Each structure stands twice: as C-alpha cells, then as structure tokens.
Structure 1
Amino acid sequence: MTPFLPITPLLPDILASLAERPRLVLEAPPGAGKTTQVPLALLDATWLAGGRIVMLEPRRIAARAAAAYMAAQLGEQVGETVGYRIRFESRVGPRTRIEVVTEGILGRMIQQDPSLEGIGAILFDEFHERHLAGDLGAALALDVQSGLRPDLRLLVMSATLDGERIARWLDAPRLSSPGRSFPVSITHSPVRPQETIEQHLVRTVRQALREHPGDVLAFLPGRREIERARSMLEKQGDDLEVVALHGELSLAEQQLALSPADAGVRRVVLATNVAESSVTLPGIRAVVDAGLAREPRFDPPSGFTRLETVNISQASADQRAGRAGRVAEGAAYRLWPQSRRLEPSRTAEIEQAELSGLALELAGWGSDNLPWLDAPPAGAMGQARDLLRRLGALDEASAITRLGRDMLALGATPRLAAAALRAAPERRALVADLLALTEARSPLRGEQGRTDDFRQRVAALHLWRDAGARGARAGSADIGALAAIEKASAGWRRRLEIRSSASGVPDSHAVGDLLVHAFPDRVARRDEGQPMRYQLANGRGARLHEASALLGEPWLVILDLRLDARDSLVFAAAPFDPEVLERDHADRFVTERVMRWDDERQIAEAFEERRFDALVMSRKAIPLRGDDAVPALLAGIRARGIGSLPWSDNARRLRARIGALRVWRPELHLPDVADATLLQSLESWLSSYLSGKRRLEALQAAELSEALSSMLDYEQRRALDVHAPEELKVPSGMTRRLEYGTRDDDPGAPPVLAVKLQELFGLADTPRVGDGRMPVMLHLLSPAGRPIQVTQDLAGFWNRTYPEVKKELKGRYPRHPWPDDPWTAAATHRAKPRGT
C-alpha cells in the first residue's frame, strides 16, 4: 500500500507537467517522499510507454535504501520492478523498470549508448549536493535530449535547491512540495577550554539524551572522529546502543543504522554527511551537529588532492537540523557559535576538484561544449588534459587515444586506470589490489597505522587473504576495512578479467613499479646531501618523517603527502626501480643545453642535462658558446640584487638624476630606473654589455654607466643635462656638484647644493632645476666647510638669518669677508688677503 506523504497531492501536477514539457524542477524538503514516491508515480505515464526510469543518488547507501523501500511498497524483492546499480554491485533483472544508480553510473550508460535506448526518464535526486559526476551526468543528459532524444524526460529534485537558477538553466517549470516536519529548537552549545571536537560532541549528546526522548543523530566530519566518539560513549557504560553510519561500512553495518532500535533501547547514530539526505533514520528526536564535513580539495601547484575538514553550508546545517523533526518536535544542538556566518550553499565540486576524470569523459564524448550549470574552470581543465597526455590517454591534439577509451571503459580514475592497463598480465591481480587500496583509507591501525610505506598495506591485505579459514588477523590491521578492500579488489578483478587474486609478499619494487604508471609526476629522487629530503618530478620538494620506514630508498613514488610551503611531508609512498622510467616513460626524457649560475664561485657554467620532467638524471659540463652565459649572468644578478652590479659614483649620480627628472618632468617619458624595474628589464638594457662574459666581475663600471645612459634617447639626454645638471656655477665663479637622490623614499626630492656662504654673496634667489620647477636645497657652509643653514629660501636667509650668522662667525673666521650687505657684496671662494 502506498503511504500518504506530503508529496502525494503534488504527484498529479508532476505527471501533468512532464506530459507537456520534457524537463521539470521539483523542490521538496526532507521527509516529503520525493525519492520513493515520484519514480513509482511515473511508471504508468503515457509518455513513458513502458520504458525505464533511471534515478541518480549521490551515495551508495541511499541508492540501496531507496530501491529497497520502493520494492517493499510494491510487495516485491529488489531486482524485480525496482533495482539498483552501484560500483561492483547490481540488483536488476529483465523486468526492472526503475533503476536507482549512483551518479557515476549514468556517465557510463550514456558513453556506451548515447541514445539511451529504452530509457524514458532520468531523475536527479539530491542535486543540491553538486557532485562532479552529477553535474556531468546532467550536462550529458541535456546534450542527449537536445540532439538525439527530445522525448527523454529530465527531472531535477532536491531538498535545498536554488530552484529559480536551476529552472532558468533547464528552461523548465518549478514545482514545490511541503515537507513533513515538526518544530525543531536550535541551541548553540559552547565549547569548553581544551576540549576536542569529540569530547564536545559526546558531552552534548549526553545533554540531548537527558533533555529529550528518542534517539540522537550526531554529525562528525569523518570516520576517525566517529570511532573516537564511539569509544568515549561506549566507555561510559550506559544502556545505550551506539552505531556508526558512513560510506566505508559494509552493507550489513549500514542496514543496522537504518533499522529501528530494539524496543526500550535508546540509540546514538554517529554519522558523516551521508545522513544529511536521501536516507530515513527512524526514531531520531535530537541532532548534535559538529558543523564540519570532509571534502576533497585539489591543489593545482602540487597536483595533489587532499580531504580537508571544512565548515558546512547553511543549507546543510538546516537539513541536518531537520532530521530531528521527522516524527515529533525535536531539538538540534550546534557545536559552533551563533555568530559564525555560514556560506548559503555548498560549493559545486566542479569548481574545486581535480578534473582529469571529467576531461577524459569529455574527450570520450567528443566535445566539452555542454550545457553546464557551472562550467569547469579553464585552468583546471588545462592541467587535467596535460596529465591525460602524460598518461597516454590523449594525443597532442587532445583527442582520445585507444588507451584512453580503454581507461574510460574500466571506470577507475585516469591515473589508476593507466596503471592497470599498462601492467603486464601477470601483474594484473596485484593491480586490482592497488586499485582498491589507493581508493580506501589505510586499513592499518595502531603503531603500524603511522607507517609511510604503502607496501605494508598490500602486505596486510595479502596476509589476511592468505590466512583464510585459519583466522589470522593480519597484524594490527582493521579486519572490517580489509574485508571492504577485498570486496573492491574482487570487483576490479572481474573488470580486469582476472580469475585469481594476488598473494604472498610482492617483490620490493613490484608495488612502486606499477604505481609509477599512475603517478609519473610524483616520482621522487633522494637528495644526496639530505637523505630525508626528496625532489619530485613536478619540481616540488618532500621530506620523510623521523620514524619513516622508507629511509634510505633512493627512488620513491609518492601517493599522499601533507602540503607545506617548502618541503611537504610524505604520508604514503613506495620504492621503485628507476629503470621503469627508462623503459615505459622514455618520451618524458629530454636532453638540453642549460646554463647555471654558480653563486658561490660567481661564474656562469654550461651543462648538457638529461632530465625526467624536473629531475636531473645526468649532467656534464660543456664549453660555453657565444652569448650562452648571458641568461645565467642575468639570473645571478636577479638572485643577488641590483646592488651586485659595479656601480660607480658617476653611475649612481646618473640614476639619481634620471629618477629625479622623471618625477619633475613626466612629459619627457624618462625610463624608470628604480631597483625593481631595472632588475625586471635587465634583458633590454644590460644584456649586450654582458656578451662574451662568464663572470659578473668582468663587467666594468664604465660599461654599466654606458648601459644606463643608453636607456635615454638624444632628446632625453639633452633634457637631462639642461634640467638636471650634474653641477651649478655659483656667483664666486666656481662650479659645485648637485647631489640627487638624497631621500630613498622620494626620488623627486630636491637636489642638494653644498656651498660656502661667501660664494653666494650677491645671489638673491635660490637656484632652480627641473625647468625651474624645483628649488635646490642649499646646504650653506662656514669657511671651514661646516653646515650653517639648510634652506630653499635664500632671500629669507639674507634678510632674517644672515645678521645672526655674521655676528656669531665673524670673530671665528676674521680672514673671510662678512659684509653688512650680502646683496651687493662680491662673491668669493677665497679668504681676504693678508693685511686687509
């Protein structure tokens, strides 16, 4: 019997809309019943004509649960009218008309059959999660609908969706359904000093159990935090059932969390964001939310993707809280300050993920001109295609190769697919294990769990597998995790058409030799001078931790590391034989003439280098030719700074004059001679003066001055001499030097003229430069050359200050003239003759 749910009254409108138009947006909050009622309601639609319905779910647990619930409503088993398909697991039959699939499955279906023969409708459930595979599936389905299948119906469904934007994108109507929920009170639980997130959550769970009846759903970012919180709760010894819910659990363990607790038993479900939507958890009356989720983040400079713990969006927080109001009034406890501002919605994965899988899908489709809701970033797509070319999946024109199509059909990530398909037949069983192990969390626990040697994961799997009925426990490995990895490995063996599994301890280089084909950009060679440090082929540096099991290995392929600004810390790696590079990646080797600047010896050197990407495999010194050394010399100057050049006093003064006049007379367009600009433009003004030189010291000061002067054309040089002269003629008949650039913070500061007072008698106004725009700064000196006054107002000095100076200095310097009227006195640089 079909239950009456909030979505039920809307079902006729959904049917009518899809009868008239091929696309529809449905907004329905959690509990409305959209996931399980809409597909069943569409089965008898006239336009479906007996065809199949494919519904996408973002997670395996939700796909299984939705199929099981719909099958139960029909009184059938899963695999009859309703079935599901997820990776390595299929429950469909010849009578199946509703297939619930995970998002990646749809891409495979469309690539294999672009016309989608026999499929009448595709439903995108929980589209707000914006997973990369879901966005791609929707774009491909729209492309198919517009070109091959105008009769195909597309229905986008979500609980927290920007429906207006989605409707514009689809050119589709919107329908909205009310939810089935009761009021939920929101409380923000403050953290205590020195309290971990698990301690904070457990304390708040205890509070929720005291204050509310029913079960508690607690959200944590990942499995590690769930296990710690579970241990804390179980140690408290209450009559309480604690269950976990996350994507790494077995089917039986997931079913336990989705089933009602025994009568009289209170339950705490510790879950990741898999419990936000799509699945129904019975008996929940309170939610405790840590406000965190673990999401992949791609770091383009390193090429690594890391799972990062991030704050959830406001939409996710609302959806989590709503879980407490499904059956009665409930409560939500949030473990963050009420003042924290959350982003309104989740960022689309396409904007922050590594896109090699997407780029391969698009190459297989033959076009990336798809109707995207959010188009993939151009930079990330370029980097993804570079990787695919390196793996052999694309040719130089970015067209898919035969290997690329085989990789696409295999369904693994491009890196791992390349490793699997390049492996020799006798290594395929081990490849299946590596595919399963690299996609899963490490099964190692305790002290062994901290090892950075990836081979130990393989050894633990083989030990557990080989023990069989004898019951060996694979050392300190997690048996449940190993069982899940074995199940995935078996799935890969079926796809690779391998009958038997790998066993025993592989050769020391067997694991690494295979993984090199997946991560050729992450091969690393030990630094001869620093045994804990490695250089990667992508140019980055990495280091081993102090207790590393890989110490002494000359070559590693690195699978995981913690990104640091300088040298990242290796978390997982395996040694390999460098001959694999020569044998299987010969196209990545280049031999080039290169120049190097030896800063210690202050000399340019020429070498012939053979490199694998950024790794120098061999180097030999070769003679210099012509101007070979110029780039290295320029690099050396840039490394040491502009001050490393042989600046003479004349050259420094010339720079200062150019800099000053550039400020005073911008219309002359004089060149910028500041340090940073000169360094940046070395090639244009200095290269020709370095020709034929190997050492920087071979550059003469006179050549540097000439290079600087050559930056000016004839008119500019003439203007410089006129408006920023090196010296001025003073009334005494002598010429005195002007000092420019006296202030580092102001190149246009007035130049300084240091001159004895007696040499300026008769001069009424302060001399000016810069076409009369800048009065010089006069440093008036005593006959002994000591400063008397600093001024730009000579007339004011004669009128106001000179009488006092005369009175003070006349007795000290009696042999020098001190006239009463300096305006009319004769200027002189000499003392009075004896006897006068």
Structure 2
Amino acid sequence: MLPIEAVIPDIISTLASDSRLVLQAEPGAGKSTLVPLRLLQAGLFGDKKIIMLEPRRVAAKSIAHYLAKQLGETVGERVGYQIRNEKRLSAKTRLEIVTEGVLTRRLQADPELVDVGLIIFDEFHERSIHADLALMLAYEVQQAYRDDLKLLVMSATIDTALLSRYLDDAPILTCSGKTYPVDVAYFGKPSQYLSDHVLRALQQVLRVQESGDILVFLPGQGEIVRCIEACKATLGEDIICLPLYGGLPLAEQEKVLSKQSAAVRRVIFATNIAETSLTIEGITGVIDSGLEKRLTYDVKSGLSRLDTVMISKASATQRAGRAGRLQPGYCLRLWQESAHNTLSDFQPEEITTTDLCSLALELSAWGITQYQDANWLSAPPERHFTVARQLNNALNLVDEQNKILTAGQMALALGVAPRLASMLLQSSTLQEQQIACLLAAMLSERDIQIQAENSDITRRLLALVEYSKDKKAATSAYRLHRATTEVVLTLAKSFAKKLGIVLNIERLSLTDIHNHTASLLLHAFVDRAAQKRAHGDNRYLLANGRGVTLREADTLQGEEYLVVCDVDGKNKDGLVYLACAVSQSLLLEQLASQLSEETHYQLDNKKEAILGRRRLCYQALILKEQNLSQIPACEFESCVKDILTSQGLGLLNWSAKSQAWLARAKWLGEHVDEFPCISEAHLIAQLDTWLLPYLSGVSTIKQLKQLDIFNLLQATLTWDQQQQLASQAPEFYITPSEKRVLIRYDEHQGPTVSVVLQEMFGQLESPMLAGGKVAVRFELLSPAKRPIQTTSDLGNFWRTSYFDVAKEMRGRYPKHRWPDKPLEEKPGRSIKPKSH
C-alpha cells in the first residue's frame, strides 16, 4: 500500500469542510497517482470535474494513462488529458490532467469554471511562473464567484506555512513517502570534465547496485549527449544509455518511462524533468551531478541568460528519492558532503527571475493592470513588471494604462510568447503568414540544426522548405535534428490553423523568405535591432545599448544591421544564436515613428573649429550621420555652451592674468564666507549670466578667442566685491624695498611669495590676508634664486632658523649680505656694497 493511502480519508474529509488544502507528501508517497483517483471515486464533487495541473507534458500524459488503466478504461473516458496541441477528452471525462498553459486559458475564457468542482495543483514545489499565476487566478475565482470551488495544492518539498498563509490559513496535511531506504553517498570534487566524473561514478554505482536501472541527473542536453558518448565507449553492450530531457520528442520521452525488458539494464541520463512527477520504472540507483540549468532575466539588457548552477537541498532530496521507489536504493552525489549544507533550501521562484511579458499580458486580460493590485504568492521585482508592461505596449497589445487591447486578447488565444503572437497578428499576406508561423514555431522550440555554427534564421527557414520536399536530403544537407524539426512543423501548422490558413511551405521561395523575414522579426524584436561596431565584423551593438557577438564562422558577419532573436545574455557581449540581416532602408521605414534626430558638436583642436554632425538614431543605434558644413549662428551659442560644459573652459582666451584672477577669487571664496564662491565649476554652471550674453555676433572660434575674458570675469563681482578681492587677496606683495612681487594663490599651499631673502630685511612679521585669517607663505630665495627656506611665520624665522641659514649661505655666497641683525639692515640688493 502506498503511504498516501493512509491520509486519503483526511484529504476527503478536509475538502468536504474546507475550500482549500495544502498537502505535503514526500517522493514516492503516491500523491500524483492515488489522490486524484480516490477523490474521483469518492464522488465528492457530484457531476463537476476535477482538473489536475501538471507542470510537464510527458507527466500529464503518463499520469492520465496510468489512472485510466487503474479504472480499467482507456484515456479519454472518465480520465483524460489536454496538453499543447493534443487532447483526449470526452463528454464522460470527469478527471482532466492538464498542463499549465491549458488551465490558464480555461480560467481566462470561463472565470467561473461552472463545470469544475476541484483544481489540484500537483508538484507545486517547482514554483513555475505558470503555476503561480494559475493559483492566483483560481484563488480569485473562488473568492469572487465560486465559494464552492475547492483548491488542493500538492507538493513534495515546499514552504507549506507560506502556502497556508497565502490561502487564508488553509489546513496542512503531511505524508511520508520513502517506501524504501536510500543510502546517500558523496563522491568528492568533480574532475575537469563532468563526463569523466560521471563515468567513474557510474562504475561505482554499478558495483554497489547489482540490479536495477540507474538515473543520472545532469544540467542540460549538451551534458547528456557528452556523457552518453563517454559511457557508451566504456560500458558493456548489456547496458543501454538513454536520454531524457524536455526537448526530446514526447514519444521518445514516453518510451523511457516504461521498462521494455527486465534482462536489459538501463542508464537514463536526464535533466530535472525526471525530478518529480515522472515515474520511471526500474530505477534503483541515482547519480546526482548537483547541477541544473536556470534561466535568469537581466532587466537592464532585456536578455535572459542560461546559467548552470547548483541545485537546492529540496531538489537533492527529490532526486535521491527516485532511487527508493521499488527497493532499497543508492544515491551518489557528485559533490562533497561538507558542501551540502551550503545549498539553498529551495530554488528561487521562477516568477522572480524570468521575463514577465506573458504574465503581465495575462494579468491585463484578467483586469489587473497595476503591480500592487496583484495578489502575489511571491512578488517579482517591480522593475521587471514595469519593463514587461512597456514591451507589451510597444507591441500594441496593451494601452498606456496597461489595459488589454483586442490584439492582446487575440495574442493570448494564440498560446505563444507576446513577441511572437504580435508578429503572427502583424502578418497580412499569405506568404507573410506562412513565414510568421514557421518563425514563431522555431523560436518556441529548440534549434532545429545540430551544433549550429551559423545564426542566420533564413537558412533554417530554407531548410524547413527543403525538408517539406525531401526529408532525408534536407536532414543531411542542413544537419537537422529530425525530431525537433517535426515538432516545429507541427507547431507551425497549429499556428496556421489559428490564423485560418493552411500551411503549405513547399511553395515558399527564397525571395519570399528574404522579403518578409526581416520585417516580421523586426516587429517582434524591435528592441533587438543591432548595428555592426566600427572595429570587428562580428561585434554588434543592440538598440538597448548591450553588445552581442557572432561566432567566427557565422555567415552574417559583416552585415551592417541585424535583428537578433535569440542571444545568450550571460557575458558582456552575448553570443548570438539566431538572427537575421536587415537593411537600413527597412529600419528607416519600419521604425520611422520611433527615430530621433540628434545634433552633436565637438571641438577640432587642430582646425580650431567646431564640427557638427547630424544623426538619425534609433535608441543606441546611429542609422544615418552627416557633417554640418556650417554651424548656424543661432546654434553657435548653445554649441559653445555644450562644449564648455563637457570639456571645461580651456576653449576660451585664458591669459595668465585671467587665470591668476580666478585663482585669487576661488581662494578668497573658500576662506571668507561673505565673498562669493567662484571656481571653474561655478563659472560653467553660470555661463548663461557671465559669458553667453556677450556672444552676440560671435560665430567662429577665432572670434570667441578675441573676447576679453578678464573683463568678463571681473564683471561677475560687484564694485564692493572687487575692492574686497583687491584688499583681502591682492595680486601683488610690496616688499620692504617697495618691489612688487606676484602672489601665487596655490590650490594646495595657499598664497605664496617667492622673493630673494635680502628683499625681506625689515619685514618683522608675515602679512595676513583674507581679513587677517591666513598668513602669506614666503619662499625665500638664495642669490641664485633657489629656495633656501619656506615659512609662513617671518617673525619666528628671523629669531631662529635665519642664523643657521645665514651661516651656511656665507660660505656659499661670501659677496652677499648675511648680517647678524637682519631686521636692522636696509632691504634691497643682496650683494654687499663696495667699500670706499
């Protein structure tokens, strides 16, 4: 008996009295297969249906077939399923297993769900964005229209307290689930190559587990392919290596779930698709790489990156549990035991890390237009939501207030991402519609080409046309993944059906493809128009300012403009996976309403002229640029202002006198509160008042440099302020011998006077500036005009260190005056007078 059987009575009685229930059942408890069946048999909901939400298509079909078999029926009778482009239902169906998008569409079409008595959310711990949305909408339906509607949220590992609080303190039931113990071991640090590490781990598990199949968890399809190649070359022929990942055709996934022969031992290499609701017969051993692929959205660039990251503790528990379904199992984890505690408890909710365009459009259709109006289980970053709204508005799916438009309703009915739905709706001619269907299908699935080195999407369209004529030849010529190609064509036909056309791509010509592809993609990816950078044929700049790169062998290299459909946002210059060349004329035509004209000026120092360039831009891209032969007189003033603001005041006629005046004024402003603060930054900020009014009639750099800057600077001060500057920060110091010496107002050392020492005889104390606040700093010079002493306190100098200086200088300069009583000496020449 499965462990869940013991709590079935509690589940039934709780749902009879409560509207909501949270069920936590460990892996292997049987919640996905037994709970819906027992609830169906209990007749708790009369003639109303039970809908069970499954996150994965293969799990939905597998569970439906299993439940129907338990009732002695075929699928489509009391138990049915509906997934994308496939359903098995009838008038007798009372239990429907559906995938997430199907439930959302049903809720949007019929918010009251009049024929539904219970919605079961299975494997809710995966926290997909679709499951979060479906629960939000179903909960609103229950509160607003259907207080008799029941909600059951089931999960193996999740924060049940969070869910209970969200569902108005819903009751929580728990159930253990490990029918057999699982021995968990750790297998040290990984090798440089994951495939080598997996192979060694596999050899160890085969020794420990002498029977049963082995499930190997890997992050993605690429790692699966490489590990299978490595293991096939080493393991015996009695062991079969099989892949299992989301991109695998559904029929091939289903084959993996059932064991064909007990005599054959299988090693199944899977992504986290095998982590939860899928029951794979015969598994007794698990090898867990501890890795998964996680899509992360970067709101700044508008790109998503696929990172390989460590799993959570909850995922590790789920994976290990797969080994104990049939008998005592063994799980080998490919990380150190000490590292296990560093794992996060749960993986981040998808809603917090992904692009929210589809979610925002669904909420708009539901009537939720503002971020704060949504009843979030886990709130996404508000900035992500805002950017999603803006893109949906740019695609003409919602208005400025985020209210859904007719096109938005039609886009949701197509069941594809908003970008691609908008592209499908934009297509008008039959050729456009057919190409749009193919593009939407290709961009919704994995790449049809195997290990493609070329990003040109038009080559893939041509490959599909050739494939429709001769599958074998096209598969070889274009290195197509045949199963994925079939999936793409099936999906394209479903889009065509929704558009009311028949997909007949055999007649599409290369001309049709080139004429329509760029225009369609530009509509969908308007923010991803790209322009080749000045240096390097494979480096491009996206309209949003982000850089991208083509592979070295990519045939699109050198194209001036691209529309980028798929790109890795991981690196600074993300690698382009799918793109299309686009002409400048198409960009100018299709983006006409969004173009901006900008005029830029810069100073050419060699020519001593201002050069102007007029640019036609689309966001960060410069589509057209031309030199201005002449700067209009009316724009010269603003041009000068821009240059002075960005490059400083060096363009003006700065004489030494002007620079000295500015240094004095700046220094005094820093030391006297009542004097205005004057600096280069201040002058730049005040250009409108002290400079620009005097540019009337000035239209060239030559004329600009003829302006008397000194007088303009002085004019910034009142008469009283000019007198204050002259007295408290004078231009010159008058020595005791009545010689005028320039005062340097040094930014770091203060007001400084450089003077021959003998000129200072008789100066008892250092003079004070700034109203008596700051002493002048003297740099006393030898007869050779070299500094011999620096002081801001002349009185102390004469009393102390002067005598040491004089003693040393007498030896060097015996013909010059170094008296013992300097304050009694006549100031002036340093050389001794000739004796008569």
Structure 1 length-normalised TM: 0.87
- Aligned-residue offset at 1:800: 3.6
1:238-637 superposed matches below 5 A = 238=236, 239-260=238-259, 262-326=261-325, 327-335=327-335, 338-339=338-339, 341-368=342-369, 369-427=373-431, 428-445=433-450, 449-467=452-470, 473=476, 475-503=478-506, 505-507=509-511, 508-525=514-531, 534-540=540-546, 542=548, 544-551=550-557, 553-563=559-569, 569-576=575-582, 580-581=586-587, 586-589=592-595, 592=597, 594-597=599-602, 603-604=609-610, 610-618=616-624, 621=628, 624-625=631-632, 627-629=634-636, 632-633=639-640, 636=643
Structure 1 residue 707, shift from structure 2 partner:
7.4
Shift of residue 439 of structure 1?
1.7
Q: Structure 2: how far apart are the matches of 1:690 and 1:336? A: 74
State the distance in 2 between where 1:117 and 1:602 align: 80
Where does the alignment leave 5 or more consecutive residues of structure 1 unmatched?
744-748
Query: Per the alignment, do residues 335 and 662 of structure 1 end up closer, same or farther by CA in structure 2, a change over 3 Å counting?
Result: farther
Which residue of 2 is the match for residue 161 of structure 1?
158
Tell me, in whole angstroms, the C-alpha distance in 2 between the residues paired with 1:589 and 1:544: 26
Q: 1:94: Cα distance to partner?
A: 1.6
Answer yes or no: is the 8 Å Cα contact 1:595–1:606 preserved in 2. Answer: yes
Residue 25, structure 1, aligned to residue 44, structure 2: no
Structure 1 residues 334 and 607, CA, compared in 2 at 3 Å: closer, same or farther? Answer: same
CA distance in 1: counterparts of 2:351 and 2:675, whole angstroms: 48
- In the TM superposition, what is the alpha-carbon distance from 1:422 to its structure 2 partner? 1.5
In 1, are the aligned partners of 2:757 and 2:782 still within 8 Å (CA)? yes
Q: Give the CA deviation at 1:538.
A: 3.9
Q: How does 1:776-791 map to 2 (within 5 A)?
A: 777-791=777-791
Answer yes or no: is the 8 Å Cα contact 2:244–2:268 preserved in 1: yes
State the match for 1:141 in structure 2.
138
What pairs with 1:79-94 in structure 2 (closer than 5 Å)?
A: 79-94=76-91
CA distance in 2, matches of 1:760, 1:399: 84
**Which of 194, 198, 202 is residue 201 of structure 1 equivalent to?**
198
Q: Given the alignment, which residue of 224, 227, 232 partners 2:225?
A: 227
**Given the alignment of the two structures, is residue 175 of structure 1 paired with residue 179 of structure 2, yes or no?**
no
**Compared CA separation, residues 206 and 611, structure 1 to 2 (3 A):** same
Change (3 A) 1:503 1:633: farther
Counterpart amino acid of residue 550 in structure 1: L
The corresponding residue for 1:56 is 53
1:797 aligns with 797
Q: How does 1:703-722 map to 2 (within 5 A)?
A: none
Q: Distance in 1 between matches of 2:52 and 2:196?
A: 39
**Matched letter for residue 820 of structure 1:** D
Paired residue type of 1:277: T
TM-aligned CA deviation for residue 413 of structure 1: 0.8
Kept in 2: contact 1:596–1:605 (CA 8 A):
yes
Q: CA deviation at 1:20?
A: 3.6
Provide closer, same or farther for how the CA distance between residues 593 and 790 of structure 1 changes in structure 2, counting only shifts above 3 A: closer
Partners of 2:728 and 2:380 in 1: CA distance: 57
Does the CA contact (< 8 Å) of 1:56 and 1:100 recur in 2? yes
Query: How many equivalent residue pairs?
Result: 821
Aligned residue type for 1:464:
Y
Alpha-carbon offset, residue 113 of structure 1: 1.4
The equivalent of 1:127 in structure 2 is 124
* Residues 269 and 632 of structure 1: CA distance in aligned 2, closer, same or farther (over 3 Å): farther
Which amino acid counterpart does residue 96 of structure 1 have in structure 2? T
Structure 2 counterpart of 1:360, which letter?
L
Distance 1:678 1:240 in 2: 82
Q: Quick one: structure 1 residues 46 and 259, their matched pair in 2 at CA, closer, same or farther if it must change by over 3 Å?
A: closer
Contact 1:394–1:400 under 8 Å retained in 2: yes
Say which SS state the counterpart of residue 517 (structure 1) adopts: helix
Moved more, 789-798 or 638-647: 638-647
Give the Cα separation in 1 of the matches to 2:42 and 2:722.
87
Percent sequence identity is: 37
Once the two structures are TM-superposed, the CA of residue 544 in structure 1 deviates from its matched residue by: 4.1
Q: In the alignment, does 2:819 pair up with 1:819?
A: yes
What is the CA distance between 1:546 and its match in structure 2?
3.5
CA contact (8 A) 1:44 1:50 kept: no
Q: CA deviation at 1:680?
A: 8.7
Which one of 92, 96, 117 corresponds to residue 93 of structure 2?
A: 96
Q: Deviations over 1:104-125 (max 9, x none)?
A: 2222112211222222222222
1:356, CA displacement in angstroms?
1.9
Kindly tell me: are residues 196 and 752 of structure 1, through their superposed partners in 2, closer, same or farther at Cα, counting changes over 3 Å? farther
Structure 2 distance, partners of 1:479, 1:776, is 88
Matched-pair contact (CA < 8 Å) for 2:438–2:492: yes
Instruction: Note the C-alpha offset of 1:506.
Output: 3.5
1:290 and 1:336 in contact (8 A); partners too: no
Letter in 2 for 1:95: K
Check conservation: 1:463, 1:474, Cα contact below 8 A.
Answer: no
Match of 1:746 in 2: none
> Partners in 2 of 1:234 and 1:69 — Cα distance?
32
Once the two structures are superposed, the pairs formed by residues 631-670 of structure 1 within 5 Å of their partners are 632-633=639-640, 636=643, 647-653=654-660, 656=663
One-letter identity of the residue aligned with 1:432: C
Cα drift, residue 444 of structure 1: 1.6
Tell me the CA shift for residue 426 of structure 1: 1.2
CA shift, 1:723, in A, is: 5.9
TM-score, normalised with respect to structure 2: 0.87
